[in-house]
């Protein structure tokens, strides 16, 4: 296609990429090389006379045809970005009509082998990565002598553009960076370092998902790759690790990208990179010589754990940072879920030692003072450690009822339940779930309980109720020594039972050195109700619900629990805990199919409305709503959001990590699901149903040895549990196609219970049908019919 009225008879559209006048690579637009263009536009008509058109006229005509410009199989729509190496266009693929981003090397770099190598490095590195948070490459090609590649069009801009908004939403910033860190970890596993992580290189798609892009400085970890050669451009000041600045690119490790991730996180949380200056050399000098500033020195309102995470990433020495981008991602996710992070602030002696390395002359002059400060620091650290015990675990055993009337057993259980529930609100104390401690009612071996539940302390109690009075004895034992470390007797009016529960819970927390926040103290002191009859109905219903599992629950028990809870809230319409149990019961009935009707769903919705009205910000409210979204609507994303909020005030509630694990598993996050299940197991270590779920997850991952070991643990707790025995027998079948153990297990179970085949009829029939064994098929069908 030629430009009209051109005074130079040379084509402006050149499909070969070769200058039509001198034969060199075309470097300006798609026409003449730079030398021939200057000659044509400034000086001559070929005979030394002045050309009629100026250089501006000629350049304008070169730009003219761009309204219908194609590169290879793509129609160029508009330019959307330009850097030192390439230009990026929004383009449309001809046949699929897909809109893409297309990056082409700048024509002025066509003769630079180093730049061409870097450009191809970017395409090669990104094309080797297949991860949901890495910008995908669609095609690598060449047009007019210049290489280009097409990639996903990210319509949400970059983190650099989103930074002002994300600074106001630190949780979202952390969530995005956790995904980015996972993507970088994936690249590292594939053997690729990025080396230029910065907000502008992390794009956002239309749904707000982050996409790591621009692998122009990527380096293969394997030494024999073409990407090992180091370009002269080493990254972006302000975001690159000190070892990159110091010229050790050839020996870089994944720790360099961990530093970059920390710098990007710092920027998103504060609005600026860790180091700033009037020019690049100043920034580079600061990064080389100074420790990174503390996050909260720039943004004091941010959480201290985020400061610790950033500091860990931005350590000057690579070995002091997170071991991998994956470890960083895990700590960010722990923070999001309200868990304790792994990173810890650098101690005073280490900070002093690092300062002395940076300032050797001053350090030498002040050696005596430094030694003294170190001693004082160590003494202070020891004193603080002695004054603040580590986070302890406690198991509260069901209180013994000493009243002759059997009805008062529920009252004793109620006192116990109240103490356990209130202590579980203390974040600095690990409190074992009711389901795990219920098995130890009346058991006297304190050391054995400590080993089985992995706790340091056990609280035992006895309750006697008579003539309107309550007599209670509470004793706290150290499971390591079997010694009683605290005991107290109480004699109160029955009407003061809720005050008594709060008093015991606060005394135990103080005895164990667990700091109780003002919010936790208020939650502990708040009575569940003032109506003892309503409380009795609530306790009876809760006892029924606790004895129900998804595999064995009885329809009658759930409906009886609903009836009792309806009585409780009718007597006390502000009985919040009863509403929470009632919502869960309705949702289980609906989810389990006992009454999967619109009427049942509306009943659950009405209860959820009451819960939100009474305590809209309570952790129990968020948990009840999360369960409702999960069981009633299968709305996993909204359920997950509620669980994140619930975890902040219910640190010892095992249902939160367990439901989170179910959601992660349903959404394909298998390893994250396992992590959450294991956390639930820490809080509820004797609930073998959690171990069963862990085994099922291992099965889906084909980790058969882990599956077998987990089921062996189940069978030590419940040796007669038929589903677990069958599942354990199936491991050999799935892993090695060996049915021997399965057949022997089936024979043993049927000898114990001839009607048990319904628990395993599906795998049994499948196996005997595949084996074409008519006798075995007949036996299986006969047992099923029986």
Confidence of residue 183 (pLDDT cuts 50, 70, 90): very high
Check pLDDT > 60 for residue 411.
yes
Question: What's the mean pLDDT in 636-654?
Answer: 92
Higher pLDDT, 694 or 729: 694
* Pair type for strands 146-152 and 99-105: antiparallel
| pLDDT mean over 163-176 | 93
What is the DSSP annotation of 326-371? Answer: HHHHHHHHHHHTTPPPS--PPPHHHHHHHHHHH-HHHHHHTHHHHH
Tell me what pLDDT residue 770 has.
67
Give mean pLDDT, residues 602-620: 95
Q: What are phi and psi of 455, to 5 degrees?
A: -130, 160
Quote the pLDDT of residue 234: 57
Question: Is the confidence at residue 256, as pLDDT, over 90?
Answer: yes
Q: What is the pLDDT of residue 329?
A: 94
The pair of three-digit structure tokens given for residue 404, joined into one six-digit string: 């002759």
What would the mean pLDDT of 296-323 be, rounded to a whole number?
A: 92
According to DSSP, the residues that pair with 469 across neighbouring strands are: 466, 493
Which of the pair, 658 or 780, is modelled with greater confidence? 658
Q: How confident is the model over 224-229, as a mean pLDDT?
A: 38
CB-CB neighbours of 279 under 10 Å: 9
* Span 722-741, pLDDT tens digits: 889 989 988 988 888 788 88
All residues at 6 or more sequence positions from 676 whose CB lies less than 8 Å from its CB, including other chains? 657, 658, 660, 661, 664
Asked if the model's pLDDT at residue 548 lies above 70, the reply is no
Q: Using CA atoms, how far apart are residues 372 and 384, in angstroms rounded to an integer?
A: 18
Q: Is the pLDDT of residue 134 over 80?
A: yes
Cβ-based neighbours of 237, under 8 Å, separated by 6 or more: 245, 275, 280, 283, 284, 287
pLDDT above 90 as % of the chain: 43
Using CA atoms, how far apart are residues 412 and 327, in angstroms rounded to an integer?
46
First-to-final CA distance of the chain? 85
pLDDT score recorded for residue 290: 87
Please tell me the predicted confidence (pLDDT) of residue 59: 44
CA distance 370 to 755: 78
Helices 598-614/619-628 angle, 10° precision: 160
pLDDT digits (tens, 9 = 90+) for 374-396: 444 545 444 443 333 334 589 99
Q: Say if residues 513 and 458 touch (Cβ distance below 8 Å).
A: no
Res 255: pLDDT: 94
Question: What are the structural domains, with CATH classification, of the chain?
Answer: 70-152 (3.30.200.20), 159-346 (1.10.510.10), 392-525 (3.40.50.10610), 528-650 (1.25.40.10)
What are the tens digits of pLDDT across the range 43-79? 445 454 555 555 445 444 444 344 568 888 899 999 8
Q: Enumerate the β-bridge partners of residue 142.
A: 147
**Mean pLDDT, residues 221-236 taken together:** 46
Q: Would you state the pLDDT for residue 20?
A: 54
pLDDT (mean) for 154-181: 93
Residue predicted with more confidence, 322 or 516: 322
pLDDT for residue 200 is more than 60? yes
How far apart (Å, rounded) are the C-alpha atoms in residues 726 and 721? 9
Separation CA 416–CA 508 (nearest Å): 13
Q: Identify the pLDDT of residue 275.
A: 92
In this prediction, residue 248 has a pLDDT band, given cuts at 50, 70 and 90, of: low
Q: CA–CA separation, 683 vs 678, rounded Å? A: 9
- Reported confidence tier of residue 370, pLDDT bands at 50, 70, 90: very low
Backbone phi, psi, residue 104, to 5°: -125, 145
Q: Residue 18 pLDDT more than 60?
A: no
In angstroms, rounded to a whole number, what is the distance separating the alpha carbons of residues 449 and 476?
13
Position 2 pLDDT exceeds 80? no
Mean pLDDT, rounded, for 153-181: 93
Q: What is the pLDDT confidence band of residue 556, given thresholds at 50, 70 and 90?
A: confident
Number of alpha carbons in the 13 Å side-chain half-sphere of residue 295:
27
| Dist CA 636 CA 663 (whole Å) | 6
pLDDT mean across residues, the chain: 81
pLDDT given for residue 605 in this prediction? 96
Is 463 within 8 Å of 716 (Cβ atoms)? no
Q: Is the pLDDT of residue 95 over 90?
A: no
pLDDT at 216: 57
**Contact yes or no for 730/742 (Cβ under 8 A):** yes
What are the φ/ψ torsions at residue 81 (nearest 5 degrees)? -170, 155
Six token digits for residue 583? 């919502």
User: For residue 322, is pLDDT > 90?
Assistant: yes
Residue 33 has pLDDT above 70, yes or no: no
pLDDT at residue 778, as a whole number? 76
pLDDT, tens digit, for every residue of 659-670?
999 999 998 899
Which is higher by pLDDT, 121 or 256? 256
Q: DSSP states of 734-767 as a string?
A: HHH---HHHHHHHHHHHHH-TTGGGGTHHHHHHH
Report in angstroms the alpha-carbon separations of 280 from 82, 233, 271, 429, 561. Answer: 20, 13, 18, 49, 69
Rg (CA), the chain: 34
pLDDT tens digits for range 701-714: 989 999 999 999 99
DSSP code for 630: I
Integer Cα distance of 433 and 683 in angstroms: 6
- For the stretch 469-483, pLDDT in tens is 999 999 999 999 999
């Amino acid at each position: 296609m030629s430009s009209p009225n051109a005074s130079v008879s040379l084509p402006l559209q050149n499909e070969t990429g070769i200058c039509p006048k001198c034969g060199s690579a075309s470097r300006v637009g798609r026409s003449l090389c730079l030398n021939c263009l200057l000659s044509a536009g400034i000086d001559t008509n070929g005979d030394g006379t002045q050309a009629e058109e100026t250089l501006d006229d000629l350049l304008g005509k070169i730009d003219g045809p761009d309204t219908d410009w194609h590169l290879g199989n793509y129609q160029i729509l508009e330019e959307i970005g330009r850097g030192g190496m390439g230009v990026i266009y929004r383009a449309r693929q001809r046949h699929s009509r897909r809109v893409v981003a297309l990056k082409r090397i700048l024509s002025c770099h066509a003769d630079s082998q180093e730049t061409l190598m870097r450009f191809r490095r970017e395409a090669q590195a990104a094309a080797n990565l297949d991860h949901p948070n890495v910008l995908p490459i669609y095609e690598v090609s060449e047009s007019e002598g210049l290489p280009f590649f097409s990639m996903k069009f990210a319509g949400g801009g970059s983190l650099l553009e989103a930074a002002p908004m994300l600074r106001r939403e630190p949780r979202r910033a952390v969530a995005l960076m956790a995904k980015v860190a996972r993507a970088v970890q994936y690249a590292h596993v594939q053997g690729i370092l990025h080396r230029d992580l910065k907000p502008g290189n992390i794009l956002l798609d239309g749904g707000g998902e982050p996409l790591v892009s621009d692998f122009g400085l990527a380096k293969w970890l394997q030494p024999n790759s073409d990407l090992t050669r180091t370009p002269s451009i080493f990254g972006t000041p302000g975001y690159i690790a000190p070892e990159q600045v110091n010229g050790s690119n050839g020996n870089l490790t994944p720790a360099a990208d961990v530093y970059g991730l920390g710098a990007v996180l710092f920027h998103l949380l504060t609005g600026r990179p860790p180091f700033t200056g009037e020019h690049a050399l100043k920034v580079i000098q600061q990064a080389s010589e100074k420790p990174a500033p503390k996050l909260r020195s720039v943004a004091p309102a941010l959480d201290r754990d985020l400061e610790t995470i950033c500091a860990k990433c931005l350590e000057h020495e690579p070995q002091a940072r997170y071991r991998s981008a994956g470890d960083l991602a895990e700590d960010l996710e722990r923070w999001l879920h309200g868990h304790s992070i792994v990173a810890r602030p650098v101690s005073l002696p280490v900070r002093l030692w690092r300062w002395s390395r940076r300032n050797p002359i001053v350090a030498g002059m002040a050696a005596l003072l430094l030694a003294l400060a170190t001693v004082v620091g160590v003494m202070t650290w020891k004193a603080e450690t002695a004054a603040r015990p580590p986070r302890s675990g406690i198991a509260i055993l069901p209180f013994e009822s000493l009243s002759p009337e059997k009805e008062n057993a529920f009252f004793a259980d109620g006192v116990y339940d109240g103490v356990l529930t209130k202590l579980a609100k203390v974040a600095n104390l690990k409190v074992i779930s009711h389901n795990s401690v219920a098995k130890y009612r009346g058991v006297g071996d304190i050391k054995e309980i400590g080993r089985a539940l992995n706790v340091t302390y056990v609280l035992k109690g006895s309750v006697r109720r008579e003539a309107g009075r309550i007599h209670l004895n509470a004793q706290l034992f150290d499971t390591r020594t079997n010694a009683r470390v605290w005991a107290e007797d109480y004699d109160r009016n029955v009407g003061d039972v809720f005050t008594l529960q709060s008093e015991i819970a606060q005394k135990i927390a103080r005895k164990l050195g667990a700091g109780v926040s003002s919010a936790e103290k208020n939650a502990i002191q708040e009575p569940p109700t003032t109506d003892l009859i309503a409380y009795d109905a609530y306790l009876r219903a809760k006892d029924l619900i606790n004895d129900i599992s998804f595999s064995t629950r009885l329809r009658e028990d759930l409906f009886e629990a609903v009836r009792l809870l309806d009585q409780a809230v009718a007597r006390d319409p502000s009985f919040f805990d009863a509403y929470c149990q009632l919502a869960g019961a309705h949702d289980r009935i609906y989810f389990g199919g006992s009454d999967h009707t619109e009427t049942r769903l509306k009943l659950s919705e009405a209860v959820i409305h009451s819960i939100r009205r009474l305590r809209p910000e309570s952790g129990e409210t968020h948990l009840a709503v999360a369960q409702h979204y999960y069981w009633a609507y299968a709305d996993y994303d909204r359920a997950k959001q509620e669980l994140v909020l619930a975890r902040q005030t219910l640190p010892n509630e095992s249902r939160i990590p367990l439901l989170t694990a179910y959601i992660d598993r349903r959404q394909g996050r298998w390893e994250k699901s396992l992590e959450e299940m294991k956390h639930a197991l820490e809080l509820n270590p004797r609930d073998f149903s959690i171990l069963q779920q862990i085994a099922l997850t291992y099965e889906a991952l084909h980790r058969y040895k882990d599956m077998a070991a987990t089921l062996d643990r189940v069978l030590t707790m419940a040796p007669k549990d038929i589903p677990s025995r069958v599942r354990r027998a199936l491991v050999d079948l799935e892993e090695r196609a060996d049915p021997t153990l399965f057949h022997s297990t089936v024979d043993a179970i049927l000898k114990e219970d001839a009607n048990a085949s319904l628990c395993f009829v599906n795998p049994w029939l499948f196996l005997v049908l595949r084996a074409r064994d008519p006798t075995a098929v007949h036996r299986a069908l006969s047992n099923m019919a029986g």
